[in-house]
Amino acid sequence: MTADLFDAAAMYEDDYLHFFAKGAAPTHGPLVGTAHSDAAGLVWGLLGLEPGMSVLDVGCGHGVMARALAARGCRVTGLDSSAVFLDRAGRDGAADIDYVLGDMRALPDWTDRFDRVVNWNTAFGYFDDDTNRAVLREMARVLRPGGRIAMDLDNLVKFLASYTPSRVTAALDNGDMLVDRHHLDPLTGRFEVERTVIRDGRTRTLVFLKRLFGFPELRDWFGEAGFGAVGGFGEDGKGLTAEHHRMVVTAALQ
């Protein structure tokens, strides 16, 4: 496994849930997750989901999508590398969901197991590009032939148009805040964030990054990983435009 580009454990832990678990109010520009009013309904339609289908949610976080799909009758497995998030998901969960602590770079022995894979809210693009491509191949490996995938990412065109060098990403009534400084690296296509977490009067900083993708590039990556019929949609399920905040890429395993 390749070296991490940032400390995911420092990012995806209790402070993150403190600000985002109930949905923080956007400051300027939509926050991750706030653009979809009915994300599960969107995935349901785009992936042709049916009750009884087996679904793997890669990078399931604290289980919002996993719970919604399980409530609609799917057999859901959620995989995430954050024990803190999975613990929260298990406590929140009424539905029968199989949560697995794991790394998307090396999925378990699940070859051909799932009807559908979901990867939601920018849970892709955390590694160097060879590894990011390998993650796509892992997602392909665990899908049965003809299985389908939906991946939700920032829409690069809109993202760049609304780029700011810094922002207050979340501000709670009690004064707790997330303040982010941004850096775009055109040579790597990475968006790097230096985040200051202000909580209960204490501050700490952390760094995280994500790879930004234009649709044609990611379509080609999906093709290399064995997928076909690659489509791009916005948060409303319509064909992707420059005005959409989110880019949902769907594809079928060949």
Ligand X SMILES: C[S@@+](CC[C@H](N)C(=O)[O-])C[C@H]1O[C@@H](n2cnc3c(N)ncnc32)[C@H](O)[C@@H]1O
59 binds ligand X (CB under 6 A): yes
Q: Considering only residues 61, 125, 147, 234, which one is a binding residue for ligand X as defined by CB under 6 A?
A: 61
Spatial distance between the Cα atoms of 59 and 174, rounded to a whole number of angstroms: 30
Nearer to ligand X, 223 or 237 (CB): 237
Nearer to ligand X, 37 or 145 (CB): 37
Q: Considering only residues 15, 80, 154, 235, which one is a binding residue for ligand X as defined by CB under 6 A?
A: 80
Q: In 3-state terms, what secondary structure has residue 9? A: helix
Q: In 3-state terms, what secondary structure has residue 71? A: helix
Question: What does the per-residue mask of binding to ligand X show for 151-180, with x meaning CB under 6 A?
Answer: ------------------------------
Close Cβ partners of 4 (under 8 Å, ≥ 6 residues apart): 126, 127
125 binds ligand X (CB under 6 A): no
Bridge pairing between strands 98-101 and 75-80: parallel
Q: Considering only residues 34, 95, 100, 103, which one is a binding residue for ligand X as defined by CB under 6 A?
A: 103
Spatial distance between the Cα atoms of 173 and 179, rounded to a whole number of angstroms: 15
Bridge pairing between strands 75-80 and 190-199: unpaired
DSSP secondary structure string for all residues of 80-139? ES-HHHHHHHHHH--S--EEEE-BTTB--S-TT-EEEEEE-SS-S--S-HHHHHHHHHHH
β-partners of residue 78 are 57, 99
Least spacing, CB of residue 135 vs ligand X, in Å? 8
**Which has the closest alpha carbon to 189: 213, 165, 223, 205?**
213
Q: Which stretch binds ligand X (CB under 6 A): 48-56, 116-124, 197-205, 229-237?
A: 116-124
Least spacing, CB of residue 202 vs ligand X, in Å? 23
198 binds ligand X (CB under 6 A): no
Q: Which stretch binds ligand X (CB under 6 A): 114-122, 184-192, 214-222, 224-232?
A: 114-122
Least spacing, CB of residue 201 vs ligand X, in Å? 26
Least spacing, CB of residue 107 vs ligand X, in Å? 9
Q: Residues interacting with ligand X, by CB under 6 A?
A: 8, 12, 32-33, 59-61, 64-65, 80-82, 85, 103-105, 120-123, 126
